[in-house]
Amino acid sequence: MEVPDEYNAKLSMRKAVYMNNPPVHPPVYAIDESVCKFHDCEECVKACPTQAIELDQKPEEVTINVGSIVVATGFEEFDSSTIKEYHYNDYPDVITNLELARMVDGFGPTGGVIVRPSNRQPAKKIVFIQCVGSRDRRWKPYCSSICCMISLKHATLIKSAYPEADISVCYIDIRTTGREHEYYYEQAREMGIKFVKGRPTEISRDPKTGKLVVDTEDALLHRLLELEADLVVLAPAMVPSEGTKELAEILGIDIDQDGFYKEYNAKLRPTETKLRGIYICGGTIFPKDAPTTSLQAHSAAVKAAKFLNKGKIIKDQRTAVINQDYCGDCEFCPVTCPYHAITLEDKGEDHFAAKVSDLLCEGCGVCVGTCPQNAIELRHSKPEQMTAQMNGILSLNESAEPLILAICCSECGHTAVDSSGMAMMEYPASVRVMKVPCTGILQIHQFLEAFKAGAQGVMVVGCKSDGCHYEVGSQKAEKKVDLAKTLLNEYGIESERLEMFQFVFIEGDKFAEAAQMMSERLKKLGNLKLMIGP
Amino acid sequence: MRAESFSETIRERLGGETITFCYQCGTCASSCPVAKRTTDFNPREIIKLCLLDEKDEILDGKSIWLCCSCYNCQERCPQKVEIADVIYAVRNIAIEKGKVPNIYFEFFNAISNDGRIVKVSQFAENKRPQLGLPPLQPTGVDALKKILSTTGFDKFHLKKEEPQ
């Protein structure tokens, strides 16, 4: 039994027993279930000198206990047949760079000869088409970043082996940003490879001769071209490997808008995820070349080793604690927790209660702000501690200015206040800053308590809603402030006394401006009148 | 206030919103059946000239009137630039400035007088019963005229007096 070999772009045949991927070490044979006749034949079982073959083996699930995970599941080519006008599946002589790579290989199925898959005749005229599916708002809006180099490499390899080959590259922009990469482009031009600035609209095939025609414009010449080709090579976008999304769900890590794994911080922690102990590297984060992939692999490996070598995990004590007496039968907190740190525990008789994993909890307090039963507290930021803090900082006011409580999150909010100080900006001394882990921890009654404690106005200062360090905290706070405003109106208190602000940490100027604005606004409103006196 | 550039004017009009997405790949030009016939029309160049604020070259030239609205370019544009709609937006600007090729005044007249762009010949009308088609209904020119005047369409019609 023989079937087309997928590894060799179906240019050669393989048996039911085959070596999956020859360059992988150690070399391992596999048996293709869909081709093998199993017990009808059993020739391989007889032939194997070490009796390594068991035809009755069944797939099994194995549980492995690990201390750290490195996700390096890579990327794959975008399915070029999605772009109908390039007829990738209809015309055998339209191939992708991955398929061409097998032909370029001297040890590959064609021995390094570039052939037309339709008739196995050598291809003389070759047209490369760049950006197939990438830089395309309909499919993958990003630039896959490595395809220019792949096509340049293939084009120069082919041209050096077959100088008579007529090679054209249709491009939108050639991007050669790596070290010595521009040299490839230079070399390609020297060798006589033609570059056409234009993204072809369509590939058509003459039914009689089987020749392909690439319909494009050379934008620099202002000329429409019909490039004849024996072989058309597509440079498809690079997309996350199949199953990336499912694995992200299993691991509880995030993926970005393009479907790749999201790093914890693109600049400073590029191989870490939001979950401690899970690291990512290489093409799982974004398509990249071999040197960068190798660099990231080193980084992820070192991070994982460092994490394991400590032998212990040092955690902030600031984690959520559930009061089991109050908790029960709602599912708000497990759904809200950005770190999947809360699970529901069966308490029998159809009752269940929340349970926090101290290891996973990052101490943001979003669950505290969400709990309708007040059954969750954050260590070091308990409601009574927050009230005491509030009363303390509002107890003194030696100026005539209206007292304002600025409740700032410990990330962007408080750092923005710091930034205003470092830039020597002025804001009224009557603005009192109170630090909370994340604005998501706040509950509506706490805004009211601030007024009771003597504040004339309350500013809630958090991160940008799409840049919250705890993902959803700032958004939750925004909604609660809106709701609290409605309540204030009901109580006959001007809702303008409460305001939510969202800053990036460097926006100290905006904080100072906002504080000034609030102070002036409150002066105009005059003193707050509460029915219950302080 | 800073004077609004031509490309910004286009962007603010219905259909012109996507013009800045263009990265000049030329897919539109190679998709275009008109560009295959004449070098006077190239959708990529129209977009580029608009982005470069070459207002006079665009509005005084004839190229924007050559688009046949097949929407091939729009279908294949990798940046989702609504090319044909951008050209419509530019045409609307040209019409407001009275820069319209003469032939369009014939269309304006035909629409407002007969309610049809193409006059139906007696020959075609005689042919209808033979083909089993019902006789043509009157177009309701009065109602149409009301619509044309409410939407401001007829004021362009008046510009016919201006020398072209």
CATH number given to A385-525: 3.40.50
- B16-32: b (≥16 Cβ within 10 Å) or e: bbbbbebebbbbbbbbb
Q: Which residues of A103-126 are buried (b: 16+ CB within 10 A; e: fewer)?
A: bbeeebbbeebbbbbeeeeebebb
* CB-based contact A369:A320 (threshold 8 Å): no
Q: In angstroms, rounded to a whole number, what is the distance separating the alpha carbons of residues A404 and A441?
A: 20
Q: What distance in Å separates residue B20's CA from the closest CA in chain A?
A: 13
pTM of the model: 0.81
Indicate whether this complex's ipTM tops 0.90. no
Provide, as residue numbers in chain B, all residues whose Cβ is less than 8 Å from the Cβ of A213.
none
Q: Which residues contact A32 (CB under 8 A, 6 or more apart)?
A: A3, A16, A17, A18
* Nearest Cα residue in chain B from A139: B78
The confidence band for A22, taking pLDDT boundaries of 50, 70 and 90, is low
Range from A154-168, A410-424, B127-141 carrying the lowest mean pLDDT: B127-141
Q: Is the pLDDT of residue A212 over 80?
A: yes
Structure tokens at A436: 């909370």
According to CATH, the superfamily of the domain at A67-314 is: FAD/NAD(P)-binding domain (3.50.50.60)
CB contact under 8 A, A224 and B27: no
A426 exposure class (CB count in 10 Å sphere: 0-12, 13-18, 19+): exposed
Helices (H), A252-374: 290-309, 332-336, 366-370
Whether residues A216 and B31 touch (CB distance < 8 A) is answered with no
Rg (CA), chain B: 19
Is A131 within 8 Å of chain B by CB? yes
Contacts of A261 (CB under 8 A, 6+ apart): A71, A240, A244, A248, A253, A254, A255, A273, A280, A284, A285
Answer yes or no: do A131 and B35 touch at CB < 8 A. no
Looking at CA atoms only, how far is residue A223 from chain B in angstroms?
A: 8
pLDDT in tens, B152-161: 777 765 455 4
A residues 72-111 lying closer than 8 A (beta carbon) to B: 85
Chain B residue with Cα closest to A83: B76
Cross-chain CB nearest to A201 (options B42, B76, B80): B76
pLDDT the model gives residue A58 = 87
Return the bridge partners of A462, or none: A502
> Domain coordinates of chain B in residue numbers?
6-96, 102-161
At A420-475, the pLDDT tens digits run: 999 999 999 899 999 999 999 999 999 999 998 989 999 999 999 888 988 899 99
The answer to whether A197 faces chain B, any CB pair under 8 Å, is: yes
Q: Is the pLDDT of residue A534 over 60?
A: no
Using CB atoms, pick whichever of A135, A137, A199 lies closest to residue B26.
A199
Nearest to A329 by CA among A307, A347, A310: A347
Residue ranges matching CATH 3.30.70.3270 in chain A:
320-378
pLDDT at residue B162 greater than cutoff 80: no
Residues forming CATH 3.40.50 domain(s) in chain A? 385-525
CB under 8 Å to A360, separation ≥6 — which residues?
A: A275, A339, A340, A341
Q: Which chain A residues touch B80 with a CB distance below 8 Å?
A: 137-138
Contact A217/B44, CB-based, under 8 Å?
yes
Domain formed by B6-96, architecture = Orthogonal Bundle (1.10)
User: Measured between beta carbons, which residues in chain B are less than 8 angstroms from residue A85?
Assistant: 76
Average pLDDT, chain A: 92
A202 touching B (Cβ < 8 Å): yes
Residues A35, A1 contacting (CB under 8 angstroms): yes
Alpha-helical regions (H) of A195-263: 244-251
Amino acid at A420: S
CATH number of A320-378: 3.30.70.3270
Cβ contact, residue pair A198, B80, below 8 Å: no
Is-contact A261 A168, C-beta < 8 A? no
Query: Is residue A150 scored above 50 in pLDDT?
Result: yes
Rounded to 5°, the CA angle A284-A285-A291 comes to: 85
Domain with CATH 3.50.50.60 in chain A: 67-314
